[in-house]
Chain A
Amino acid sequence: MADPITGADIVKAAAYIGAGIAMGFGAIGPGVGEGITASKACEAIGKNPKEAGLLTRTMLVGQAVAESTGIYSLVIALLLLFVV
C-alpha cells in the first residue's frame, strides 16, 4: 500500500495529542488548589461556625478563580480538537 501519512495527517495527530496533554496536565493544579481551599474552609467553619455562609461564599469565589486555569486548558483542548 502507498504511504498514506501526509503532512496534514501528522498535524492532526499532533493536535489530538496536544489536546490530551493540555487537559490532562491542566487538570492537576486546579484540582489540588481547589481541594486546599475547601480544606481550609472546613477548618474555618469548624473554628467559627457562625460565619459558615460568608466562609462558603469566599471559598466558592476563591475556587472559581482557581478553576480558571482548568477552563483555559479545556478551551485550548477544544480549540485544538475542533478549530485549529
Chain B
Amino acid sequence: MPYDIQTWVKVAAFSGGGMAMGFGAIGAAIGEGHTAACANEAISRNTKLSGDIFKAMLVGQAIAESSSIFALVIAMMLLFTKFPEHVLTVPVLFGAGLCMGLGAIGAGVGAGYPAGSCCTGMARQPAMSGRLSTNMLIGSAVCQTPAIFSLVVSFILLFTDFSKSPVSPTWAAILGAGIASGFGAIGSGLGGGLVAEASCDGISRQPETTTQVTNVMLLGQAVTQTTAIYALLVSFILMFKTFPETHLLAPPMALLSAGICMGIGAIGPAIGEGFAGKSAVAWIARNQYQVADLTRVMLVGQAVAESTGIYSLVIALILIFVV
C-alpha cells in the first residue's frame, strides 16, 4: 500500500486546520467590519464622543473576534499536535476542523450587529452609553454560545479515544457530529445578533423602556439558541452512542445524514426567530404599553418558525435510532 495511515492522518489534520481557519475567518471579519462602519457613522454624527464610541467599537469587535480565535486555536492544534495513527483519527480531524470553522461564522457576524448599533446609539443618546455597553456585552455574549458549542464538540472529538470503536459506522458518526454542530451554529449566532441589535437601537431611542427591552431581548435570544442546542444534542448522541459494527453502506450513511439533516435544518428557523425577536424588541421600545401583546405574538411566531427545526430533529433521531 503506497499510502500509510500516518499520511492520511496528516492529510486530514492539514485540510481540517485549513477549513477551521478559512471558514472561521468569514464571520468575525464581516461582523467587525459592520461595527467599524457604524462607529464611523456615529463619530461623524457626534464628534465630541469619539473617544467613547471608539472604545465601544473595540470592545464589540473583541467579542466578535473571539469566535475566530476559537477557530485559530483548533487550527493550531490540528497543525502541531501529534495524533495517534488510527483510521478513525482521519474523520476526527476532518470533522473537528469543519465543526469549528462553520461554527464560528454565525457568532462572528451576529456579535457585530449589537456592537454596531451600540456605537450608533451612543452618538444618538450619549447619556445611555453605560447601559448600551452593558446590553451590547450581554447580547454579544449570547451570540457566542453556538460558537462555544462548536468548540466543545471539536475538543471532545479531538480528545476522545475512538480506537476501540468499530471503524465502519463510527467514521460517519464522527463526521456527522462535526457537521451537525458546525452548520447548526450558523443560524443561532446570526439570529441572536439581530435581536441584540434591536435592543441597543431601542434603548438609545427610548431610554425609559430599558428594562422591558432587555427582558424581551433575552427571551427572544434564548429562543434563537434552541436549534443550536438541538444540533449539539444530535452531536453528543453521535459521539457517545456505541454503534454495532457493520460492513454495509447504509448504516454509516444514516448517521452522516442525521448530522447533515440537523445541522442544515437548524439554520433557517434560528434566523427567522431572530427576525421575529428583532421586530418585537424594536416595537416594545416604541410602544411600551404593548409589551404583553408583542411578547405573545413574538413567541407564537417563533414557535411556528421553530417547527421545521423540530422536524429536522425528528428525522435526525429516526435516522440514528430507528432505521
Residues of A within 8 A of B (CB): 1, 4-5, 9-10, 12-14, 16-17, 19-21, 23-43, 45-47, 49, 52, 55-56, 59-60, 63-64, 67, 70-71, 73-74, 77-78, 81-82
A26 to B266, CA, bound (A): 11
Q: Please determine whether B276 and A46 come into contact, CB atoms closer than 8 angstroms.
A: no
- Distance in Å from the Cβ of A30 to the closest Cβ of chain B? 5
- Distance in Å from the Cβ of B275 to the closest Cβ of chain A? 4
Which B residues lie within 8 Å of A16 (CB)? 250, 253-254, 257, 319, 323
Which A residues lie within 8 Å of B257 (CB)? 16-17, 19-21
Partner of A39, one of B278, B289, B314: B278
- Which residue on chain A has the smallest CB distance to residue B263? A24
Which B residues lie within 8 Å of A13 (CB)? 249-250, 252-254
A16 to B271, CA, bound (A): 27
Q: Please determine whether B275 and A27 come into contact, CB atoms closer than 8 angstroms.
A: no
- Distance in Å from the Cβ of B201 to the closest Cβ of chain A? 14
A interface, over-half SS: helix
Partner of B275, one of A12, A29, A36: A36
Known contacts A27-B269, A42-B280; is-contact A35 B305 (Cβ 8 Å)? yes
Q: Please determine whether A38 and B319 come into contact, CB atoms closer than 8 angstroms.
A: no
Q: Please determine whether B294 and A42 come into contact, CB atoms closer than 8 angstroms.
A: yes
The 8 A CB mask of B305-323 against A (1 = contact, 0 = none) is 1111101101110110011
Partner of A31, one of B250, B267, B283, B316: B267
Partner of A20, one of B258, B268, B294, B300: B258
- Which residue on chain B has the smallest CB distance to residue A36? B275
Q: Does B274 contact A (CB under 8 A)?
A: yes
Q: Please determine whether A20 and B297 come into contact, CB atoms closer than 8 angstroms.
A: no
Which A residues lie within 8 Å of B297 (CB)? 38, 41-42, 45, 52, 55-56, 59
- Which residue on chain B has the smallest CB distance to residue A40? B279
Q: Please determine whether A28 and B264 come into contact, CB atoms closer than 8 angstroms.
A: yes
Partner of B268, one of A4, A32, A47, A60: A32
Since A26-B308, A74-B314 are in contact, a sample of 5 more A-B pairs with Cβ atoms closer than 8 Å, ordered by chain A residue number, is A5-B249, A13-B253, A31-B309, A45-B293, A81-B318
